[in-house]
Structure 1
C-alpha cells in the first residue's frame, strides 16, 4: 500500500526545515574559508560601489540641474528683455490697443523663451485702471504652482530674476520636475506686471535616470565579476590548504602513508615539501616506537611466562619449608615465613605484569554478563573482612539504589573493588570505611570512602601511575605491587566507565567507579557525588539505620525506573 503525506504535515515539515536555514548558513560560514573570503570581498566591494555610484549620481544630477538652470535663466532673461523692449516702443493708449499689445507680447515671450508655460499677474498695490489688461496664466500654472514666497520675492526685488523648483503636472496627470522664473515688466498706460515662465526638466530627469540605470547595471555586472574573480583566486589559494588539512587529518587518524602532492616551486609547494618531510620523519619515529613497544611487550610477556615455571617450583618448595617452620630453629623459621611472603608477592607481581602487558598489546577482551554491584561489593567486603578487622576499620555498605544489573565483566569489576578496598584499609588509619552503591537511568556507581591520611593534589594526580606510591617509606600490609590502581583504571576504561578520585590531606579519600548500564552506553552523570557529601573530613556515625541490601526499596526502585 502506498501512502502519501498530508499536505498540512508536508507544509509543516517544510516550515521546520526553513527554520533550520540560519543554523545551516552559520555552519557553512564557519566551515568554509572560501565562502567567508568571497562574501567579505563582495560585501566590501558593494559598499565601495554604492558610495562611488551614489557620489557619481549626485554629482551628475547636480551638474545637469545647474546647466539646465543657467540655460533657463538666460532664456527667461532674453524673453523678458525682448518683451519689455516691445512694450516700451509701443504708443498704445486705449483699451483695445493695450489688449492687442499684451497678447502680442505674450506670443513673443513664448517664442523667445521656448516655453508655452507662462503667467502674467498685475502687481499688487496699484490703482485700478480701465485699460489695464487682465492677469493671465497657463492651465498648468494656475493650480498653485507659483508660490506666495516667489511672488513676494519678485514684488520686493523687481529689478532681479527669481526662480524656484516646482513640480509640473501635464495634461495626462504625469508629474515632472520644473523651474519657474519670475521677473517684472511694465505695460505703458497699464502699470507693472509680474511675469512667470515655467520650464520642464523632464529631459534632464530622463538623462539622469539613464545614467543611474547604467551605473546600477554596471555595478551589478562588476559585482558579479568581482565575486567570480575572488572565488577563482581564493579557490586557487584555499584548495592546497584544504588538501593539507585533509592530509593532516588522515595522518592524525593513523594513515601514515598519505602525503601532499608537490607541484611547482611556489610557497605552497614549499609547504607541501616541508609537510611531507615532517610526515616521513613522524612515520619513521612512530614505526621505531611501535617496534620498540612491541619488543618491550613481548619481553615482559615472555619473561613473565618463563618465570612462572621456576616460580611454581619455588612456591611448592617454599610451601613445604613453610609448613615445617615449627620444627626449625627460630631464625630459620622466620626465614621460611619471609620466603613464603615474598614468593606470594612475586607471584602477584607476575600476574599484574602479565595483565598490564595484555592491556598494552590490546589483547584484552570483556566477558560481560548481568552484574549486580551490590552483591559484588558484599562479596569483596566479606573476603577482606579479616584484614579490615585486623586494622581496626569498620567497613559498611550503603546501597540506596544500586540494585539493578549492569552489563560488565564481573571478574574485572571485582578486582577493581578489591583494589579500592585494599587501599582504603591500608591508608584508613583504622577509621570507618564506607562503600556506597547507587544508580540512575544510565549508569551504576560504586564509591569507596575512607577517612585516613588523604593526599594532596599532586599526589592525587599521580595515584593511577604504575608503581607509584604516595609514601614509599610506609610499610605495606597487604603486599601490593604498585600496579593495582593502574590496572583498575584500565579495567574501568575497558567498560567505557569512569574511575575518579577525590582526596584531601587529613580528610581521607574517595574513589568512585561509574559504569554504563548497557555495554557501550553513554554515561550522562554519575549517581554518586564527587567530592562526597561529607567532604569536610568528619567521621560518619554508624549508629543510624543502614539500608538493607537484600531487596530494593520502593524509593530506590522508583528513582531507577525514572
Structure 2
C-alpha cells in the first residue's frame, strides 16, 4: 500500500480544526517550550560566560605569577654568572612554574624571532605534553610585539583521544642572560569547566522538559474542566436542533459555567414554549384551511351545477346575461381549482401526503403533459418541443403528482413565453432522471428567483394570466418534488427566458448525487 501523505495531512487538519482541547493544549505546550528554551538559553549563556570569565581571570593571574617566577630564576642565574649552562636554569624555571600552577601545566619556550647578537644560548624547550601547533600565528605576533612581562592569552582547542578539549594559552616574553628574549607559553586545560557546563546544560534540559510536560498536564486538566461543560452544551444544542426540546444542562455552582448552564436552560425553555405556540398556531391554521375548504365544497358544488345550467343555456340569453354566465362558469372553475390546491397544501402542511410509487416512463409522462396543454399552446401559437436523447428514463414515481408538476411548469412557460418555442428536455443516468422546461420569454430578475416558489407570489401581478392559476402551482410543485426526494430548481434572466429543472432519483429512497441535465441544458445555450 502506497503512503499518501495528503490523506494523513487532511486527517490532521480535521482533527486540529475539530478539537478546541487539542488546539489549546498544543498552543500552550508550544508557547511554554519557546519560553523555556529562551530562558534556558539565557541561563546557559550567562553560566558559560561567568565560568569562562572566572577561570580565565584565574588562569591568567596564575600564569602571570608562574612566568614572573621563571623570569626571576633566569635573573638569579645571570647575577650568579651562570650563562653557559642555561639548560639547567631552564629546568629550574619550569620547576618554579609547576610549583605555582595548581594543575599539571603544558609549558613551551621558544626563541623570539628577528634578534641580533650572539648565537642562542638555549634551544627551544617544552614539556612532553606541549605541542607547538597550539601557538597560533596571531598569538605569537601579539607576544613578540608586546613588552616583557606583558601577558597575552587566547582560547585554544587541545587535541585529545576523546576529541578536542577547551583550553587557554597564556604567553609572555622573558629576558635571558646576554639580553636574549624568549617566548614563554603556558597552556591550561579547561575540560573540567566544560564538564561542569555540560552538567548544567543537561540539568537545564531535563528541567525544561519536565516543566513543559508539567505545564502540558496542567493545561490538559484546566482545559478539560472548561471544555467538558462546553462539549456538554454543544451536545445539548445539537439535540435541541434535532427536535429534542426537553434537553437541559445540569446546573450547579455560581461560576461562569453554571451561569452559562442556567442561561442555556432558560433559552431552551423559551424556545420550547415558542415552538409549541407556533406548532399550535400552525395546527389551528391548517385545520382552519382544511375545514374551510371542505365546508366550501358543498355550496361550491351547488353553485357550479347552477352555473353549468346557465352556461349551457347562454345562447338563449341576451348578450350581457350570456357574458355573465360565461364569467360565472370560468370563475367557478377557478374557485374549485383554488379549493383543491388549498386542500393539497393543507395535506402537505399536516404531513398527511401518501404517494403511490410505480415504475413510470418519464418520456411518456412528458408527452401526456404536453398533450394536456396542447389547447393552450395552440391558442398562444407556441410550439412545444420534446428533446429526449434516449437512455434509462424509467423511474419509481407517483405519476399523478409528477404529471401535475409538468403541467404547471408547461402552463407557466406558455403564459410567459411570449409565443416563442418551448423546449422540454428529458435525460437520465443510472441514479437520477431530470426534466427541464425552458422558455425564451420575458424571464425574471435575480431578486424574483428567491420568491418564485412562495405561495400566492407572482413576478408581475399586473400581467394577465392565460392559465388562470391560483398562485399555488409552483409551491405545490416544489412540495411534490421534495416528497419524492428530488429537487426543483430555476434559472432565469430578463429577456432570455426561464428554465425549471426537476431532478428525481430513479429508485425510491435513494439520495441524489447530481442531475443528468445542466441548468439550463447546454444545448439551449448554443
Is TM-score (shorter-chain normalized) higher than 0.5?
A: yes
Is the CA contact (8 Å cut-off) linking 1:456 and 1:503 kept in structure 2?
yes
The CA deviation at 1:403 is: 5.4
Which of 43, 54, 68 is the equivalent residue of 2:55? 68
**Aligned position for 2:268:** 279
CA distance in 2, matches of 1:478, 1:190: 132
CA distance in 1, matches of 2:80, 2:115: 20
The normalised TM-score by structure 2 is 0.91
**Aligned position for 2:19:** 32
**Aligned position for 2:36:** 49
1:163 and 2:153 aligned: yes
**Aligned position for 1:496:** 485
Question: Which stretches in structure 1 are left out of the alignment for 5+ residues?
Answer: 1-11, 537-562
Is the CA contact (8 Å cut-off) linking 1:98 and 1:131 kept in structure 2?
no
CA distance in 2, matches of 1:231, 1:180: 53
The CA deviation at 1:437 is: 2.1
**Aligned position for 2:355:** 366
CA distance in 2, matches of 1:218, 1:169: 32
CA distance in 2, matches of 1:297, 1:361: 7
**Aligned position for 1:101:** 89
Which of 349, 369, 374 is the equivalent residue of 1:380? 369
1:410 and 2:396 aligned: no
CA distance 1:149–1:503, shift in 2 (3 Å): closer
The CA deviation at 1:84 is: 1.8
CA distance 1:357–1:234, shift in 2 (3 Å): same
In the TM superposition, 1:495-534 aligns within 5 A as 495-519=484-508, 520-530=510-520
The CA deviation at 1:357 is: 0.6
CA distance in 1, matches of 2:59, 2:318: 140
CA distance 1:345–1:77, shift in 2 (3 Å): same
User: What secondary structure does 2:134 align onto?
Assistant: coil
The CA deviation at 1:457 is: 3.1
CA distance in 2, matches of 1:44, 1:272: 32
CA distance 1:515–1:25, shift in 2 (3 Å): same
CA distance 1:355–1:187, shift in 2 (3 Å): same
**Aligned position for 2:475:** 486
CA distance 1:124–1:264, shift in 2 (3 Å): same
Is the CA contact (8 Å cut-off) linking 1:140 and 1:169 kept in structure 2?
no
**Aligned position for 1:21:** 8
Is the CA contact (8 Å cut-off) linking 2:422 and 2:437 kept in structure 1?
yes
CA distance in 1, matches of 2:449, 2:429: 27
Is the CA contact (8 Å cut-off) linking 2:392 and 2:429 kept in structure 1?
no
The normalised TM-score by structure 1 is 0.86
CA distance in 2, matches of 1:303, 1:134: 132
**Aligned position for 2:418:** 429
- Indicate the RMSD between aligned Cα atoms, in angstroms: 2.6
The CA deviation at 1:535 is: 6.2
The CA deviation at 1:477 is: 3.2
CA distance in 1, matches of 2:56, 2:459: 98
Which of 175, 183, 205 is the equivalent residue of 2:164? 175
How far does the alpha carbon of each residue in 1:231-274 deviate from its partner, in whole angstroms, 9 at most, with x for none? 22222222222222222222112111111222211222222222
Is the CA contact (8 Å cut-off) linking 2:485 and 2:504 kept in structure 1?
yes
Answer with 230-239 or 400-409: which moved more.
400-409
CA distance in 1, matches of 2:124, 2:495: 114
Answer with 419-428 or 302-311: which moved more.
302-311
User: What secondary structure does 1:140 align onto?
Assistant: coil
The CA deviation at 1:330 is: 4.8
Is the CA contact (8 Å cut-off) linking 1:57 and 1:212 kept in structure 2?
yes
Is the CA contact (8 Å cut-off) linking 1:373 and 1:437 kept in structure 2?
yes
CA distance 1:140–1:316, shift in 2 (3 Å): same
CA distance in 2, matches of 1:370, 1:425: 29
CA distance 1:529–1:505, shift in 2 (3 Å): closer
Is the CA contact (8 Å cut-off) linking 1:94 and 1:131 kept in structure 2?
no
The CA deviation at 1:389 is: 1.3
**Aligned position for 1:142:** 131
CA distance in 2, matches of 1:511, 1:138: 104
**Aligned position for 1:292:** 281
Is the CA contact (8 Å cut-off) linking 1:431 and 1:451 kept in structure 2?
yes
User: What secondary structure does 1:139 align onto?
Assistant: coil
How far does the alpha carbon of each residue in 1:13-68 deviate from its partner, in whole angstroms, 9 at most, with x for none? 7x45x763332222121111121112112111211111111111111111111111
CA distance 1:35–1:459, shift in 2 (3 Å): closer
Is the CA contact (8 Å cut-off) linking 1:92 and 1:98 kept in structure 2?
no
CA distance 1:469–1:167, shift in 2 (3 Å): closer
The CA deviation at 1:73 is: 1.1
1:466 and 2:471 aligned: no
Is the CA contact (8 Å cut-off) linking 1:131 and 1:190 kept in structure 2?
no
CA distance in 2, matches of 1:427, 1:79: 114
The CA deviation at 1:162 is: 1.0
How far does the alpha carbon of each residue in 1:306-354 deviate from its partner, in whole angstroms, 9 at most, with x for none? 3334433443444344434445555554444333333322221121111
User: What secondary structure does 2:327 align onto?
Assistant: helix
How far does the alpha carbon of each residue in 1:407-439 deviate from its partner, in whole angstroms, 9 at most, with x for none? 222111100111111122223333332222233
Answer with 263-272 or 449-458: which moved more.
449-458
CA distance in 1, matches of 2:13, 2:47: 41
Is the CA contact (8 Å cut-off) linking 1:419 and 1:485 kept in structure 2?
yes
**Aligned position for 1:548:** none
CA distance 1:212–1:335, shift in 2 (3 Å): same
CA distance in 2, matches of 1:173, 1:480: 100
